[in-house]
Amino acid sequence: MDFALTEEQTAIFDMAQAFAQDNIAPHARDWEAQGTIPKELWPQIGELGFGGLYVSEESGGSGLSRLDATLVFEALSMACPSVAAFLSIHNMCAKMIDTFGSDALKSRVMPEVLAMEKVLSYCLTEPGSGSDAAALKTRAEKTDQGYRLNGTKAFISGGGYSDAYVVMCRTGDDSPKGISTLLVEDGTPGLSFGALEDKMGWRSQPTAQVQFDDCTVPAGNLVGEEGRGFSYAMQGLDGGRLNISACSLGAAQTAMNLTLQYMSERRAFGKSIDQFQALQFRLADLEIQLQAARTFLRHAAWKLDTGAPDATKYCAMAKKFVTETGSHIVNQCLQLHGGYGYLADYGIEKLVRDLRVHEILEGTNEIMRLIVARNLLAER
């Protein structure tokens, strides 16, 4: 394995970072205060090819590898993890439609999806089924027109904001094989939304319950085959776990950059605080942890790209390790800022808040341990 990035990969990272520093970073605090991301941002991101990062080139996407995509999310999250993570959700949905959707569905929706004129949200979690996702209750009954959808989805990023929702729902029995995937477009009769959630972090992302009350969905909006939805959802999660890990990594790198700058300027006892050996050792520990997390993440991405049989285990391990490491690093960077780190002006406390949820979504880190343990036992 070559650990060096190619020239193309370096160019991808640099392009994403430059865009983010110019168009996202200066506004991140304002967007957080407003509780929304301007819709005008997404077509600009779409122009870079980031609306379909790993959508096939045949479908008009960028056709990047999973490793390439982690570079994009790492670079964007250096400006704002909340914005980067929202883009990850859109890409997970776009890949699902590209891989499993009918030609008719793809020809109708994918051009707008790739241009990010149509922003997508992912609807799996329900009020009564989080980690036990296969226990979902939202049901779609077959009708002459297509499907009649009833149920509620919870903690949906983009609820009431996005243009379409990729919904996991039950069309058959109570097993995972009874779950299908429907694309529900904004404005569909019977589609409504709860109040915006008041969250700890990711505050620029509108998050709300999504409600379906006799929601009529055309038969052509079925993604793939009936009864395969849970399988589709699980396949998307390996890449999603890499993406959210990359978001933790980028935020941790920003925290380190800010801390190094602050420590060179902050003086105590007659010298800058980066001259105290005890604090130098703490910086060294954080840098070691950051580089270990980056290497682990890219190894897992390589596993997924090459179709390795243990790719799911590695994605789970990387998600658990990188998100927890990222949270530890930003929290320690806040500590090194002292009281100033607690103030919004210095940018660290937002990172602490934004990264906390990374240990919960895309499968909690407890579920990641479960996946790893089961794989270990199966390998005996």
Could you give the residue numbers annotated as active site? 362
Residue 118 has, within 13 A of its CA and on its CB side, a CA count of: 19
Question: Residue by residue, what is the 3-state secondary structure of 239-268?
Answer: HHHHHHHHHHHHHHHHHHHHHHHHHHHCEE
Place of tokens 């700890």: 200
Q: How far apart are CA 363 and CA 167, in angstroms?
A: 17
The bridge status of strand 271-272 relative to strand 267-268 is: antiparallel
Q: How far apart are CA 14 and CA 89, in angstroms?
A: 22
The backbone torsions φ and ψ at residue 343, rounded to the nearest 5 degrees and listed phi first, read -95, 140
Nearest CA among 155, 160, 205 for reference residue 184? 160
The backbone torsions φ and ψ at residue 82, rounded to the nearest 5 degrees and listed phi first, read -65, -45
Place of tokens 């001259």: 275
Q: How far apart are CA 321 and CA 289, in angstroms?
A: 10
The bridge status of strand 139-142 relative to strand 146-157 is: antiparallel
Q: How far apart are CA 349 and CA 353, in angstroms?
A: 6
Element (H, E) at 351: helix 348-356
DSSP three-state, residue 123: strand
Place of tokens 């996946």: 371
Burial zone of 55 (CB within 10 Å; 0-12 exposed, 13-18 middle, 19+ buried) = buried
C-alpha separations of 145 from 140, 189, 221 in Å = 12, 13, 11
Q: How far apart are CA 297 and CA 345, in angstroms?
A: 30
Q: How far apart are CA 26 and CA 289, in angstroms?
A: 28
Nearest CA among 267, 227, 212, 221 for reference residue 108? 221
